[in-house]
Chain A
C-alpha cells in the first residue's frame, strides 16, 4: 500500500511569488491535514480537509489556502511568499479523525 506522497520534495521560490504544494493521501483516506514545521515555531497546524470541505483551520494568514479534490488529493497554496514561509510542509492523511495520521516526507520550501 503506497504511503502519503508529497510533491515536490524541494522547492526554491523568490519573495513575492506564489507556490502550490501537492499531497496524495493513502488510498481510502478521506481526511488530509497540513502542517508547517520550522526550527523556531515547531510543528503548527495549517488546516484539515475532509470530503472536499475545510473542517478545521489554524492561525495562519489568508495567504495560506488549500483545497481537496474528489479523489481526496489535496493542494495547499501560499501567495505573496515571505522569507518566513521557508519551512518543511507536512501533509498527513487518515481514514477519519482521531485515528492514526500518516505523514508524508514533506516538501521543503525555501524562500529567497
Chain B
C-alpha cells in the first residue's frame, strides 16, 4: 500500500514535444506529491509539487495534473528541450510522517 507506480520506464521525444509521465498510488493517506529531476551523477532536484486539494499546478514549462478519485498524477513538460533529458521521479508522502516513497523513475531523452 506504500507503493508508487511510475510509467513509462523510458521516453524519447523530439525537441518541442510534450512528454507525459504518469504515476499511480494506493495509499489514500498520501497528501503531498513532488516530482524530482535527476541528472547522471547528481542528486535529485525538486521540480514541482502538488497537494490533493488542487487538480493542476503549473510552474514554468512543468505542469502536474492530479486526479484524486483515480489516485493518479502526471507530469507534463511543455516545449521540451534537449537539456530536459534526465531521469524523472515522482514521489508521495504523508506530511505527518514525511518520508518520501518514490516511483521507479522515467528516463527521458529529448532529441534535438
Decide whether A and B assemble into one complex.
Answer: no
Chain A residues within 8 Å of B, Cβ to Cβ: none
